[in-house]
Every structure is written in structure tokens, then in C-alpha cells.
Chain A
Amino acid sequence: MPAISLVITSGKGGVGKTTATANIGTALAMIGKRVCVIDLDLGLRNLDIMIGLGNRILYDIVDVVQGRATLHQALVKDTRFEDRLVLLPAAQNADKNVLTPASVRQIVDALRSEFDYILLDCPAGIEQGFRNALAGADGALIVTTPELSALSDADRVIGLIEAYHMPIGPRLIVNRVQAAMIAAGTSLTVAAIAHRLALPLLGYVVDDNAIITADNNGEPVVFDTHSKAGACYHNITDRLLDPQTPLLPLITKQPTFWQKLFRRA
């Protein structure tokens, strides 16, 4: 079966698109899927670093489009997974306009027969880079954080994506969820966010310092079997493969009297 291509997008910057791409890509490879992740954030590439392949790049996507390298020369293989996980890096210094929707679509189509999933890490915003990423996608994963400003951008992006009539409908990932804030009533619940955006929920990721540690180690958090964020990404991946998989429960217990007492102290 040819690969399913999914764009990971958000509108607002810094909400966790690249982290999501790295972790979902890695988690899929961990369970035996063949995955190609493509960094479409020209000039600000960092998917390579998050996934831990930053030091092995020889060519990038712009080299491919401009004919300096073949597609296969530019693919960086992850030896941790017997080459099941592969990265097509973004260019660091390239004119933003060298990529076009048509060239991205062409690259994705050329890769379809060799993979199960192709994940496209979309740059922030709704300009050229966004349109490029959408052109190559069969479906979209919308990443948002619980703040209203991020929700508003996500809503805008969902509206634009719906106009593309992709074969797979968009789904939502709520990132940086804070159980304590939800319990205290100072943050929307995950369900309320999905309702507000009128989008099916793929999953959520808790706000977790393990993500930052993982970033620094060049090892996506899904490798960390004890981390909450890692568990969330595994749940997202499982739900991607089988929508019947139940959502990981979020523990939003009210702090106990003693916890409150000690926190105040």
C-alpha cells in the first residue's frame, strides 16, 4: 500500500509541530512502520536535531529540487530503526520560493511506494511554506496549545485546510496540557478545545520538561518510557493507526490538602 502523507500544522509558531512530527515519526518506526519525515521549514530547520540526525545531513530538499542531489542521496537514514525512519532535511540558506506546491507534491509522490507514512513538518504561518506543505498531504494533524491565541490560529488554519478537501479529514492534537490548570479551572479542558474547534481529537500531550531534556539529547521523548509526554505520543500514534484506541486518561485530580499546604510553603 502506498504511503499516507500527513501534514503537521498549527498556524501559530512554537506550539509543538516539529516535536510532534519527530515523536509520531519515531513512535511509528518503533512499531515497525516505514516512515519518512520531511522538514519543510526552510531556513529554520530543526526536525533533524529533535530526531537526533542533525550531524548526518549531506544534502537537503532544495538540493533535490534544484538537481544538485537525487532524492535518495538526500534522505538521512536512522540506523536506530534499521533505516525504517528516514529524514528529508530542510535547507538552511535557501530562497523561500524555490519550493512550490508542485515540487513538494512531486517529492511526496516519489516517496510513496517506499513508506507507510510520510510526515510533513509545516512552518508556522499561512504563507508559501504552508501551502507547499498542504499540497503534499492526504490529511492534516492540527497542533494547538490551550491558549485562545493558538486556538484562533488553529481555527483559521482548519478553515483553510477544509478548502483543500483532503481525502483524510483533519484531526486535533492539543499540546502542553496542564492537568493542574484544568483542575483549577484556569485552562480549557482538552474536550472543550476539541469542541470549540469542532474537530475530532487525535490526542493530547501534557506539558512536560522531559520534552526539553529529550530535545537536548537528540532523542525524541517517545524513547523515554517513564515520561508522561512519551506516553501521550504513543497514545496518539496508536490512535492514528486505530481510531478505536481509547484516549489516555488525563489525571486532573484536585491537589490534596497536604499537597496544597506544602506547595504554599
Chain B
Amino acid sequence: MASATLKGRKDGYEVQLDDAASFADNLTDLGGLLRQVHEAQAALHEDQANFVIVTGRRLLTPDQEIAVRALLDPYPHFQITAFKAAVMDAHDLSPLIRQTHVPVAIGVIRSGQERQFDGDVLFIGALHHGGVLKARGSVFLLGEAAGVIHAGYPDDAEAVVVGDLTGATQVRIADMVDIVDQANTHLTATSFAYVNDLHAIDYSECINLRQMRPRLYAQMEE
């Protein structure tokens, strides 16, 4: 069986290169396919054709992509619109994971202890009085929080703190501090903290989070 197979698409063709075959075979078979397409198109008095090259679990190196493109040189009206693989380079993947994935931290932060996170964090456990939880991004809390929560450290005022903050000592976002006091009537178990237009820490109900921080919401949806 040929290691390159052709499929028609609305906007052109999709060529699947069998990842179990050798790349050399892929090239040979793809060359054959292109010739056939060229002949078929000529019969129909058409010369334009777009190709998406699908490589399955084989990730092409830049050199391999060049080799594939070179096969199209004899047909100036053919064009590759995309290379698609089912796999990704680990190096490219990790920043993507960091961007879209909220790490979960479980434990107890005790008096005098400080835990820092590089992006957003979902913290499950207990933040004791005198303990500090710091994140560059937003903080999502599940559990009792009696210490200091610092989101958006040091300067991201878009960050929010979600969770029951009624027992917390302080909520900090970027360079702002709010001393949580028991008399704070805006604060409930279902509110979240954010920085408002006047550059002050304010509280709103969780149901408003989507509308107030759409970017955060989109990220969670991904």
C-alpha cells in the first residue's frame, strides 16, 4: 500500500503520509500522487490546487518540510497550506501547558511559611494565620484561608482571588493591599477579589467573574 494517500477537501486536498512507513517512501509516494493530481487537473483544465500535509505521529523537521515542498516545484500552481501532525514537540508544548493549565497545590501553609507559584494556582488545603500564599497569576482557593493571599505578584492587576476569603488576614493583588476585616460586608464565601477601575481591591460575586475577567474565562474553557 502506498504510504501517501489523497483525500478531497472542500478547499483542496489532504495528503496523509503514513507515519509507519519511512520518510523516503513518503516522499516517493507523495511525488507520484502529485503527478497524478497534476494529470487529473489538466484533464479538467484546472491547475490550481491546495494541499494540507498530514503526518500523523511523525513530526517533520524543518529539513523534511523543505524536502516535501521541493516536490511541488515542478507544479507552480500547487501550494501547501499547512503541515499537520498529531504530535507536538515537548519544548513547544510546555509553555502552552503552563499557559492553559492551572496547577493544583495541596497542603497546609503554616505561620511563617510562604509558598509561591509561577502562574495561576488552585490551592486546596489550609492557609493558616501568619502564612503567605503568593502567585504571579490568579489564586483559586478551596479550604480555609486565614493568612495572606497575594495574587498577581508583583504587578498583574488583572489577577483575581477566588474562594472563601472571609477569614483571611489580607488580600493583596499586584501592589495593592486590602486588610480583610470581619466588618467587611461585601465579602461572602462566594465572592472574589479583583482590582477595580479606581485601582483598588474590590469584591464581587463569583457569578460576575466571566463578565469581569473574560480573558480568564476563555483560558479556563480551552
B61-69, B70-78, B124-132, B185-193: which lies at the interface: B124-132
Question: Does B35 make an interface contact (CB < 8 A)?
Answer: no
Nearest chain A CB to B129 CB, angstrom units:
6
Question: Does B112 make an interface contact (CB < 8 A)?
Answer: yes
Question: Does B58 make an interface contact (CB < 8 A)?
Answer: no
Check A152 against B111 for contact (C-beta < 8 Å).
yes
* Nearest-neighbor residue (CB-CB) of A161 within chain B: B110
Check A160 against B126 for contact (C-beta < 8 Å).
no
* Nearest-neighbor residue (CB-CB) of B107 within chain A: A198
Interface residues of B in 90-137 (CB under 8 A from A): 108, 110-113, 126, 128-131
Output the residue of B111, B113, B126 with the most chain A CB within 10 A.
B111
Check A155 against B111 for contact (C-beta < 8 Å).
yes
Check A198 against B111 for contact (C-beta < 8 Å).
no
Task: Determine the chain A residues whose CB is within 8 A of the CB of B110 once the complex forms.
Answer: 155-156, 158-159, 162
Task: Determine the chain A residues whose CB is within 8 A of the CB of B111 once the complex forms.
Answer: 152-153, 155-156, 159
Task: Determine the chain B residues whose CB is within 8 A of the CB of A153 once the complex forms.
Answer: 111
CA distance A156 to B132 in the complex (A): 12
Task: Determine the chain B residues whose CB is within 8 A of the CB of A158 once the complex forms.
Answer: 110
Task: Determine the chain B residues whose CB is within 8 A of the CB of A197 once the complex forms.
Answer: 128
- The one of A155, A160, A162, A198 in contact with B130, judged by C-beta atoms closer than 8 angstroms, is A155
Nearest chain B CB to A200 CB, angstrom units:
13
Check A198 against B112 for contact (C-beta < 8 Å).
no
Known pairs A155-B111, A155-B131, A160-B112; list 20 more (Cβ under 8 Å): A152-B111, A152-B129, A153-B111, A155-B110, A155-B112, A155-B128, A155-B129, A155-B130, A156-B110, A156-B111, A156-B130, A159-B110, A159-B111, A159-B112, A159-B113, A159-B131, A196-B128, A197-B128, A198-B126, A198-B128
CA distance A152 to B128 in the complex (A): 9
CA distance A103 to B174 in the complex (A): 47
Report B's interface with A, CB cutoff 8 A.
108, 110-113, 126, 128-131
* Nearest-neighbor residue (CB-CB) of A198 within chain B: B108
Task: Determine the chain B residues whose CB is within 8 A of the CB of A162 once the complex forms.
Answer: 110
Output the residue of B108, B126, B131 with the most chain A CB within 10 A.
B108
Q: Give chain A's interface residue range (CB within 8 Å of chain B).
A: 10 to 19
**24 pairs from A and B in contact (CB 8 Å cutoff):** A148-B129, A152-B111, A152-B129, A153-B111, A155-B110, A155-B112, A155-B128, A155-B129, A155-B130, A156-B110, A156-B111, A156-B112, A158-B110, A159-B110, A159-B111, A159-B112, A159-B113, A159-B131, A160-B112, A162-B110, A196-B128, A198-B108, A198-B126, A198-B128
Main secondary structure of the interface of B (DSSP, over half): loop
CA distance A158 to B129 in the complex (A): 13
Task: Determine the chain A residues whose CB is within 8 A of the CB of B131 once the complex forms.
Answer: 155, 159
Task: Determine the chain A residues whose CB is within 8 A of the CB of B128 once the complex forms.
Answer: 155, 196-198
Check A152 against B130 for contact (C-beta < 8 Å).
yes
CA distance A159 to B147 in the complex (A): 14
The 4 closest A-B pairs by CB, nearest first: A159-B110, A155-B111, A156-B111, A156-B112
Task: Determine the chain B residues whose CB is within 8 A of the CB of A196 once the complex forms.
Answer: 128
Task: Determine the chain B residues whose CB is within 8 A of the CB of A159 once the complex forms.
Answer: 110-113, 131
Nearest chain B CB to A164 CB, angstrom units:
14
Nearest chain A CB to B135 CB, angstrom units:
19
Task: Determine the chain B residues whose CB is within 8 A of the CB of A198 once the complex forms.
Answer: 108, 126, 128
Task: Determine the chain A residues whose CB is within 8 A of the CB of B130 once the complex forms.
Answer: 152, 155-156
CA distance A158 to B126 in the complex (A): 14
CA distance A80 to B146 in the complex (A): 48
Taken residue by residue from 132 to 166, chain A's Cβ proximity to chain B (1 for < 8 Å, 0 otherwise) reads as 00000000000000001000110110111010000
CA distance A196 to B112 in the complex (A): 15
CA distance A153 to B126 in the complex (A): 17
CA distance A159 to B114 in the complex (A): 10
CA distance A156 to B112 in the complex (A): 6
* Nearest-neighbor residue (CB-CB) of B125 within chain A: A198
CA distance A108 to B86 in the complex (A): 60
Taken residue by residue from 36 to 50, chain A's Cβ proximity to chain B (1 for < 8 Å, 0 otherwise) reads as 000000000000000
* Nearest-neighbor residue (CB-CB) of A199 within chain B: B108
Nearest chain B CB to A234 CB, angstrom units:
30
CA distance A26 to B111 in the complex (A): 33
CA distance A159 to B107 in the complex (A): 12
Task: Determine the chain B residues whose CB is within 8 A of the CB of A152 once the complex forms.
Answer: 111, 129-130
CA distance A162 to B115 in the complex (A): 14
Task: Determine the chain A residues whose CB is within 8 A of the CB of B129 once the complex forms.
Answer: 148, 152, 155
Nearest chain A CB to B172 CB, angstrom units:
20
